[in-house]
Amino acid sequence: MRYLFLLCAFSFYLFADAHIFLYHRFNDDRYPSTNTQNSVLRKQFEFLRDNNYTVVPLQSIVDKLNQNETLPEKWIALTIDDGYKSFLNALPIFEEFGYVFTMFVYVEAAEKNYPDFLNWEELKELEKRGGTLAFHSYSHSHQTKQSKDALRADFKKGLELYEKRVGSKSSFYSYPYGEFNDEVRNIAEEFGFSAILNQNIGAVSDKSSVYDLNRFALVGDENIKPFLRYKTLEAEWIEPKIYPSNSNITKVEARVSGNITKAKLYITDLGWRDIEVKDGLINYDVNKKLQKSRVRVILQADDKISTKILVKD
Ligand SMILES: [Zn+2]
């Protein structure tokens, strides 16, 4: 019995997944869809502290993946996109808890001193207060809609400015709006980042690609407990690979690992449904018209989850 317990404890440890959170604005009531109140942030941080989670630099997770090492239990990385000025409302709370963070910079906004955004001086100051700066595009456009040339030009211009102002290269990249497809991802990879982050619900496992790290976007009075339970469902997405050209999603096909026989499938606007898994294969007829231009397809089996984003180009 004791050995069984040890075995379970050990395998739990083996399959420990890390989680990466994404914030945007803080204590800024004007934008409820991207805002986190200070009181909520404090509650979330207290939960992490009281439940023995360790907030680590994003680089530590990337290092573990690159070294093919097991991710320690209860690792968390905190990220913030865009570089809004309102982050200064939250910074003292990050410092109070000693939580390091990565700030993804919308370069054009910093460069042109857009009123709602931190300027370069303020961004540089973050590096002295637990922050790592990273790249979040020059123009913050919808990248799946850009031509390859325009997209490469945006990276080039943005990275040149970023390196000039920050004084070092960006190790990380996050997609504006979390929107990408294989083509956008391939172009982003050309620019030599050590990790690329999406905005998909999921965890980070030993098998995650450093070029496709999942992040939970936290907004409003979010209870982080359910998110922290999620582990990575290893899924190979077969169909659809991209947003269907006639907006009609005919079926979802994916291969999942493990002895899974039942799963749940979520499609934006269409909600959740129970589906069957036969010999590791999901082959589910949908035949519905997609309404939104950004659609998430999520597979969940118990607490394991995998997300595919489809963006109309
Ligand atoms: Zn953004």
CA of 52 to the centre of ligand 1 (A): 30
Find the 31 Cα to ligand 1 centroid distance in Å.
14
Is the model's pLDDT at 120 over the cut of 60?
Answer: yes
The whole-number average pLDDT for the span 125-134 is 98
- For 296, residues 6+ apart whose C-beta sits below 8 A from its C-beta are 200, 201, 266, 267, 268, 307, 308, 309, 310
pLDDT at 46 over 70: yes
- What domains can be seen in the chain, in order of their start residue? 2-230 (3.20.20.370), 235-311 (2.60.40)
Q: Per DSSP, what are the bridge partners of residue 266?
A: 272, 298
CB-based contact 256:263 (threshold 8 Å): yes
pLDDT band (50, 70, 90) for residue 13: very low
pLDDT tens readout for residues 165-207? 999 999 999 999 999 999 999 999 999 999 999 999 999 999 9
pLDDT in the model for residue 11? 44
293 CA to centre of ligand 1 in angstroms: 17
Query: 242 C-alpha to center of ligand 1: Å?
Result: 22
The residue-averaged pLDDT of 134-160 equals 97
Rounded to the nearest angstrom, the distance between the alpha carbon of 165 and the centre of ligand 1 is: 19
Write the pLDDT tens digit of every residue in 215-234: 999 999 888 998 999 999 99
pLDDT greater than 80 at residue 8: no
Give the pLDDT score at 259: 87
Q: What is the pLDDT of residue 257?
A: 83
Residues 6+ apart with CB under 8 A from 88: 118, 122
Residue 141 CA to ligand 1 centre (angstroms): 9
Q: Is the pLDDT of residue 153 over 80?
A: yes
pLDDT (average), residues 245-253 = 93
> Is 250 a residue whose pLDDT tops 90?
yes
- CA 48–ligand 1 middle distance (angstroms): 25
| pLDDT of residue 295 exceeding 60 | yes
What mean pLDDT comes out for the span 35-41?
96
Q: Specify whether the CB–CB gap between 48 and 227 falls below 8 A.
A: no
Measured in angstroms, how far is the CA atom of residue 311 from the centroid of ligand 1? 16
Q: What local confidence, expressed as pLDDT, does residue 15 receive?
A: 57
Ion ligand 1 residues within 5 Å by Cβ: 81-82, 176
User: How much distance in Å is there from the Cα of 313 to the middle of ligand 1?
Assistant: 18
A 10 A CB-CB count for 5 gives 9
**Distance between Cα 106 and ligand 1 center (Å):** 7
Distance (Å) from CA 5 to ligand 1 centroid: 44
State yes or no: pLDDT of 4 exceeds 70: no
**pLDDT mean across residues, the chain:** 93
Report how far ligand 1's centroid is from the alpha carbon of 255 (Å).
31
